[in-house]
């Protein structure tokens, strides 16, 4: 039996939009510059380094190819169908990541790296369309039951901002009152005591994520290095 090639790829999510209104879930793709699928859009990825674990490899490949810094990183699935690459056999261990909405500028100014709306993707290389579909399902599912919009927001935020993140990802309107009730009851979020100024109405309370409370459905290994809060993040 010949040893297959091993690759580590990542589906990166961010919210693009005009300042917390009309936000769209988006992801960066890279154009392949070699055969097979030369010229086709694909997920960022690369090989596994000798001294890296899988999550480190995912983060490094992500940074190297897009210039982005992940705020949340989690393993998605290992894909290994024999025919998923026409040439060598490749087993891809795929991660998914969240980056902040302000990170678009950080993306390499390169025509070979572009952002696409999650609902309007181009034709993708290999089985990457299936992978993205599954990552989207996982993101929405996790947001539903973990009650945490990991990594999309700044260190402090209002509940309205948090709600709009949920609405953009889930593509569904949420009742502000009920949202407040469930999120506050969950304990995932704590008020900072400060208020957001500069609005033309009653200034809302600012909140931050409750770092004391662990995540639901954790990875078996602690990937919490990338999870430390956006403000303190490496």
Partner DNA sequence: CAGACTTCGTGTCATCCTGACTTTTACCCC
Partner DNA sequence: GGGGTAAAAGTCAGGATGACACGAAGTCTG
Positions touching its own copies (CB under 8 A) are 1-6, 47-54, 57, 75, 77-82, 89, 91, 93, 130-131, 133-134, 137, 141, 143-145, 147, 166, 170, 172-175, 178-179, 181-183, 217, 219-221, 223, 227, 229-234
How many C-beta neighbours within 10 Å does residue 120 have? Answer: 8
Judged by beta carbon, residue 2 or residue 200, the one nearer its own copies is 2
- Residue 31 vs 147, nearer CB to its own copies: 147
> Which residues does 29 contact at the CB level (< 8 Å), separation at least 6?
41, 42, 43, 44, 113, 114, 115, 116, 121, 122, 124
Which of its own copies, DNA, none binds 79 (CB below 5-8 Å, type-dependent)? its own copies
Q: How many residues does the chain have?
A: 234
Smallest distance, DNA to C-beta of residue 61, A:
37
Taking the least distance from each CB to DNA, the nearer of 92 and 161 is 161
Please state the closest distance from residue 198 (CB atom) to its own copies, in A: 27
Nearest approach, Cβ of residue 28 and its own copies (Å) = 21
Please work out, in degrees rounded to the nearest 5, the angle formed at the alpha carbon of residue 135 by the alpha carbons of 54 and 110: 75
Closest CA to 10 of 73, 104, 91, 103: 73
How far from 186 is each of 53, 76, 83, 155, 180, CA to CA, in Å? 33, 25, 45, 18, 10
Residues that bind DNA (CB under 7 A): 158-160, 175-178, 180-182, 185, 195, 197, 199-205, 230-234
CB-nearer residue toward DNA: 49 or 187: 187
The partner in contact with residue 80, picked from DNA, its own copies, none with C-beta cut-offs of 5 to 8 angstroms by kind, is: its own copies
Q: Which does 158 bind (CB under 5 to 8 A by kind): its own copies, DNA, none?
A: DNA
197 binds, among DNA, its own copies, none (CB under 5 to 8 A by kind): DNA
Least distance between DNA and beta carbon 193 (Å):
11
What's the CA gap between 187 and 169, in Å, rounded?
A: 21
Tell me the three state secondary structure of residue 169: helix
Of 4 and 204, CB closest to its own copies: 4
9-32 burial, b at 16+ Cβ within 10 Å, e below that, comes to bbbbbbbbeeebeebbbbbbbbbb
In this structure, are residues 91 and 7 in contact, taking their beta carbons and an 8 Å threshold? yes
Q: Which does 43 bind (CB under 5 to 8 A by kind): its own copies, DNA, none?
A: none
Q: Which residues contact 212 (CB under 8 A, 6 or more apart)?
A: none
CB of 116 or CB of 134, closer to its own copies: 134
């Amino acid at each position: 039996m010949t040893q297959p090639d091993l690759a580590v790829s990542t589906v990166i999510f961010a919210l693009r939009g005009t300042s917390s209104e009309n936000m769209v879930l988006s992801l960066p793709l890279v154009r392949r510059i070699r055969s097979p699928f030369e010229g086709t859009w694909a997920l960022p990825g690369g090989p596994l380094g000798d001294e890296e674990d899988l999550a480190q490899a995912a983060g490094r490949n992500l940074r190297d190819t897009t210039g982005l810094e992940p705020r949340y990183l989690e393993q998605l699935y290992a894909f290994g169908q024999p025919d998923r690459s026409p040439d060598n056999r490749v087993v891809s261990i795929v991660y998914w990541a969240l980056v902040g909405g302000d990170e678009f500028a950080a993306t390499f100014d390169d025509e070979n790296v572009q952002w696409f709306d999650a609902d309007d993707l181009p034709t993708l290389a290999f089985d990457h369309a299936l992978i993205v579909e599954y990552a989207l399902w996982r993101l929405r599912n996790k947001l539903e039951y973990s009650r945490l919009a990991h990594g999309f927001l700044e260190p402090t935020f209002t509940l309205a901002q948090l709600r709009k993140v949920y609405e953009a990802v889930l593509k569904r309107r949420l009742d502000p009152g009920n949202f407040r009730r469930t999120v506050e009851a969950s304990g995932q979020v704590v008020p900072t005591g400060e208020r957001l100024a500069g609005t033309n109405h009653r200034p809302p309370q600012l909140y931050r994520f409750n770092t004391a409370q662990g995540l639901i459905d954790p990875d078996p290994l602690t990937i919490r290095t990338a999870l430390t809060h956006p403000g303190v993040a490496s």
